[in-house]
């Protein structure tokens, strides 16, 4: 997905002179062709994220569309104020591409785990948040980022994630994708958790439970219309995200559910990271299992909410 995303930046830049790329201190050879073919629009600015985001904002004020790339935690935490004040307050065309969203960097420990990136950026006015499920979805979204007005955070997954999306539902920034209709429970996903929801929906179907899936690669702005369309018939709603359960996708949907005052009330549960700093290493899959962000947990939660 990272490779696809950066290749798209390169491809789009070839056709649009406004597009500029800024990295911090990325791996050797990153976007080599971009650097060679468009050196005036390729910058590697060092481990100085506060400056990088400010500089990107200055360039966006001059009409550039600036794609900034580094590790998620450094692009969200280190320079949060620059993101808020420079990029978002001025509503600039700065695109922040965060490597290793969620627990991708499990072996590197909590300094590198982006457990709250969706939550903190969701609270910032003008910010758009994208968390695609796979490389194909990334490829569908990237061209739309060029002319989207205002700052965008693009959360990258691990890479080589299984392809679970297709062209059957149009993928637009700001729009959720109704993946399947369901009458009993609605599973709401973002990022790679779509894969888990699809597995869970199949299992549930085998048990006679009709599970719908609404996939939200755009976490903000939240497509509430699509949510209420799919939420209408179901008795239970489960959100699944590789992010803290505080303030991310689950938080966003919880706000909608609470204020909708459904009658009869709907049962609701968030699946995601608990409010802790992970203290285990291993792999992303290990941490997802440890914190029970799994298809089995979605199945068990759905059953419990439905009293089955």
Using CB under 8 A as the criterion, which residues of the chain lie in contact with other proteins when the complex forms?
40-41, 43, 45-46, 48, 50-64, 81-82, 85-86, 89-90
Closest to other proteins by CB, 61 or 276: 61
Least gap, CB of 79 to other proteins (angstroms): 8
Closest to other proteins by CB, 130 or 152: 152
Least gap, CB of 224 to other proteins (angstroms): 30
Closest to other proteins by CB, 62 or 207: 62
Least gap, CB of 144 to other proteins (angstroms): 24
Closest to other proteins by CB, 90 or 235: 90
Least gap, CB of 52 to other proteins (angstroms): 8
What's the chain's length in residues?
308
Least gap, CB of 89 to other proteins (angstroms): 5
User: Is there a contact between 60 and 87 (Cβ–Cβ < 8 Å)?
Assistant: yes
Least gap, CB of 86 to other proteins (angstroms): 6
What's the CA angle centered on 101, arms 275 and 219, to 5 degrees?
Answer: 80
What's the CA angle centered on 118, arms 125 and 210, to 5 degrees?
Answer: 115
Closest to other proteins by CB, 44 or 300: 44
Closest to other proteins by CB, 39 or 170: 39
How far are the Cα atoms of 2, 132, 194, 305 from residue 161, in angstroms, in the given order? 10, 11, 11, 30
How far are the Cα atoms of 157, 249, 291, 294 from residue 242, in angstroms, in the given order? 10, 9, 10, 10
Q: How is 208-263 classified by DSSP, letter by letter?
A: T--EEEEE-SEEES--HHHHHHHHTT-SEEEEEEEEETTTSHHHHHHHHHHHHT-S
Tally helices (H) and strands (E) across the chain.
12, 12
Least gap, CB of 93 to other proteins (angstroms): 12
Report the Cα 263 to chain-centroid distance in Å. Answer: 31
Closest to other proteins by CB, 40 or 225: 40
Q: Beta 94-99 vs 19-23: how paired, if at all? A: unpaired
């Amino acid at each position: 997905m990272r490779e696809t995303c950066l290749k798209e930046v390169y491809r789009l830049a070839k056709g649009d002179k406004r597009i500029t790329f800024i990295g911090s201190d990325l791996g050797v050879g990153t976007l080599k062709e971009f650097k060679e073919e468009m050196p005036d629009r390729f910058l590697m600015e060092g481990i100085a994220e506060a400056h990088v985001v400010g500089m990107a904002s200055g360039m966006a004020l001059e009409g550039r569309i600036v794609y900034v790339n580094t590790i998620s935690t450094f692009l969200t935490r280190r320079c949060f104020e620059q993101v808020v004040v420079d990029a978002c307050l001025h509503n600039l065309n700065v695109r922040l591409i965060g490597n290793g969203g969620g627990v991708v960097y499990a072996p590197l420990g909590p300094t590198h785990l982006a457990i709250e990136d969706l939550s903190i950026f969701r609270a910032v006015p003008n910010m758009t948040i994208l968390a695609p499920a796979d490389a194909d979805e990334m490829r569908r979204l990237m061209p739309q980022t060029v002319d989207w007005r205002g700052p965008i955070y693009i959360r990258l997954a691990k890479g080589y994630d299984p392809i679970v999306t297709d062209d059957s539902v149009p993928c637009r920034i700001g729009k959720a994708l109704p993946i399947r209709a369901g009458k009993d429970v609605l599973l709401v996903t973002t990022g790679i958790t779509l894969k888990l929801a699809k597995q869970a929906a199949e299992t549930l179907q085998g048990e006679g439970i009709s599970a719908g899936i609404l996939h939200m690669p755009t976490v903000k702005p939240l497509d509430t219309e699509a949510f209420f369309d799919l939420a209408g018939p179901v008795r239970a709603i489960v959100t699944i995200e590789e992010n803290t359960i505080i303030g991310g996708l689950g938080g966003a949907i919880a706000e909608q559910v609470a204020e909708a005052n459904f009658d009869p009330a709907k049962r609701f549960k968030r699946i995601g990271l608990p409010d802790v700093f992970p203290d285990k290493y291993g792999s992303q899959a290990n941490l997802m299992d440890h914190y029970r962000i799994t298809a089995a947990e979605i199945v068990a939660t759905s059953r419990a909410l439905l009293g089955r």
